[in-house]
Structure 1
Amino acid sequence: MPEDLIQLIDQLIARSTESQTVEFKASNDDAFMIGKDISALSNAAAIEGQDYAYMLWGVDDATHGIIGTTFNPLAAKHKGQELELWLRLKLSKNAEFKFIPMYYRGHRTVILRIWPATGYPVAFDGTEYIRSGTSTQPIAKNSQRERRLWEVTKSEAFEDQIAAQWLTAEETLAMLDWNTYFRQTGTPLPSNRTEILHYLESDHIIKFLDSGQYAITNLGALLFADDLQQFPTVARKALRLIKYDGERKSSPSRSQTYAHGYADLDDIAAVLQAWLPESETIGRGLRVTNISYPQIAVRELLANMLIHQDLTVRGGGPLIEIFNNRVEFSNPGSSLIRLERLVNDPPEARNPKLADLSRRLGMCEEAGSGWDKIIDACETAHLPSPVVQQSNDPESSASIMVRLSQYRPYPDLSPSERVDACYWHACIQFANGDYLTNASLRARFGLEDSYSSPISRLIRESVSSGFIKPVDANAPRKKMEYIPGWA
């Protein structure tokens, strides 16, 4: 059922005064004013616990009479740049809004729907704004109001916010792959629609509205959307695949966007696997397919990037880039765990509700064993260790990238790749209650006994760099054992 925008305007103008979350305009199209008001109204919506805040053009702010507007957000520009694009560049990455031009009782109006701030306050041009009565003002630094806003936005879960609403029961179920929910949670499929909706509501996948209609939450859309593009708040979170015909981003490429939600991780992994390079060998008359990357490592990295991405970064989503010699997994947000401690530190969930339901769906484990599996799979296949890079460029959103590289013989590995492999091997051994030794490291690289001396040199280099340390520095040379440098 389409949203009744006429009824929405009726409700907004019926209010006796402007509120903390509603602002009326005539035809003011000042870009800076709009940006500041988006920041203020988004922050106010978070504080007030509202699903949305609104700006409405074409209404007299004193009488609330409909006067129409000449403001056209689709054609408006600021300094030669499209207004909406300029606003998105000036607003913090957690800002989400939507212009809706329409005619109301014969008058041209514009609705600006603004989502509440999540994760942190919404800022415009580096400044956080708030509503004070009916005016917009910068938030005083270190004030009680600023502290309250940070408390509220930190606790405001993106997963709970609304992705689509005013839906009938039929429309709700048609937009979601609810069969996957029952199949993967092991819940018996109910025999009637009412019970299906009850289960979905109990897991915060949908909400029952006071109007008798339904809403789908961001959590529900992220995991079970039949088509993520139907949900503006999470459309940019659709997984994108790019395959390059070479080893550089300048090489020719083709791309695909995975349209569905994340819940069926096995299906996503199968789509990705079809894009990854393979080779065939023939032995004893049988044709054998050799995959370039361990399937368990690929699956765990998929789960990590989808579940632990920073959902408050509205303009970015998960991306997988496939090159001839490597595959890179990228997602918005920095790691909550120090990169060098990914194997051994307790897990932390940026999106706890998404992580909890994903665990019950069998997509991941909350025991923190994902990185152990990734490193262990690379060691078993004698691949270079995964490379983890984090970007904290102040001009853009933080992001994290993990690179898997194809097999190369030990002599072809760079010095840094050898030391990285040595360090992660020590971490895995330590996590398993064991130690790194010359023999275990040779086995990790798939090397014969003749490589004992080169491996000893690698161990000495790793010790001198502080990556690993001996358990007993006075032990006989052939019985030396090592643990991570931080242990």
Structure 2
Amino acid sequence: MTEYITNLVQELVNEPNEQEWLEFKENYHSAEEIGERISALANGACLCDKRYGYLIFGVKDSDQSIVGTHFDPKKQKAKGNEDLEFWLSSRLSPRIDFKIYDVDVNSKKVIVFEIPATSHTPVTFLHEPYIRVGSYTKKLKDYPEKAKKIWQSMSTDWSAEICQDATIEDLDPTAITKARQLFIRKNPRLADEAPHWDDVTFLNKARLTIKGKITNTAIVLLGLPESAHFINPAVAQITWILKSADGVEKDYEHFYTPFLLAVDEVYHKIRNLKYRYLISGTLFPEEVDQYDPYIIREALSNAIAHQDYRLGGRITIVEKEDSTLTFQNYGNFLPVSIENVILSDSPEQKYRNTFLVNAMMQLNLIDTIGSGIRRMFLKQREKFFPMPDYDLENNRVQVKITGKVLNMDYARKLAELPDLSLSNIIALDQVQKNLPIQDADAVDLRKKSLIEGRKPNYCISANVAEQTDLQAEYLDMRGLDDQHYQGLILQYLRKFKHAKRADFEKLLIDKLPQILDDDQRKHRVRNLLQKMRKDGLVEAKGLTWYLKKS
């Protein structure tokens, strides 16, 4: 957790300025000031669709530099000599589970208040709600339009809306029976009582209906296929597609409501072939499923729970014969980032479909403690498979699962490297895939001698390459010393007397590091020539290059 908070601080100080959900302070002034800030930041996070608001001590608000603080919230007393945290909690309404972290960042003490976003009800301090306006804390009553948005934040939950003409007859009896079984499994204390409930009582208890009225959630999870018209123009459909390695469609199938039954149908449709490791031994099992059953169900359940049904799109699952499985649902990703979800390992404070999420939790379809995505990463790590790839662009969430080891020797040796945290492995996995990583991750990996290169063109270091028998691949990715490339240029000019820069690009383009794109390689050639000219090795006449005459 300390590593997560430290990285979070580094990320937040890089924000362009303070915001409705973010405030920096150098030192403590008063308990009342903190109470007002907590109210304002909880309300501001709600308005900005943020999971948390943050009040950070030890950072200058003028330039957001980390200067450290003497503030110790554990020792600080409020009025009446009460402990500060208890004093604040008892004066906030509704009570929110804010957390206080004490971390060292760049050898300076920083205090972080992590404040959950409110929902439906503005948070008040001493009976007064506050809000952030720019870099100032103001009373919410002076900004009625902002207060209205907070009060309406729950009412925009599509999954809680009532299907006015739908009745219990529009729900699938088999799905209701299965829902009962899952509910009792989730709530064993009700095992004796629940079987005696009639369907209306059960559906209310399981939070699928509201006072007997059929909700969009009830139609999505339990509705007969023909009842989907009640949620028009929303679409409740899951499509499985099988493609060849080169992307040619080979098979497909559509699945409809009730999604409670469709989850199993989709799961059994996915081929999930056995994967055999090339080298047997104690480190690797001889045969495993390409895709862990937990990962399939978690990814599919997340897609159902967080789909923005109002957009009219369908949930898709693409299984490719290159050993990848990709899940996609529509709607932006509400948490700060995938990394924060994984490293914080804590429950979400805000959901798009709150009513649907609660119902799925009651039926044991998802876990709201926040560990689902993290567990997916850990499952991949156990097999030494690549980490899940998340793409959050274009108002949809796409996660690709790879069901094989990309390099056996690399996976084996990397598993033996000591002291690699999950965040290290995730960042290193990104480097292997030529994807960007956070600056804080790069600093950590560089300290451990795991990567080399300059941002954004990091590559696996020679140390790791040597331990993983990937020396040739390392040189291919990292490239050779400049002297080697200069020698090729000099050799060319000695033989052909003169050359254009395009000639040198043709000479070197395939020899420069793979991690560079074509434009970066051309830039590297230009820099080499300029350096050689400064060193007196070559000279240019117009656009033509020659050996420098001595």
Q: TM-score by structure 1 length?
A: 0.48
> Which structure is larger by alpha-carbon Rg, 1 or 2?
2
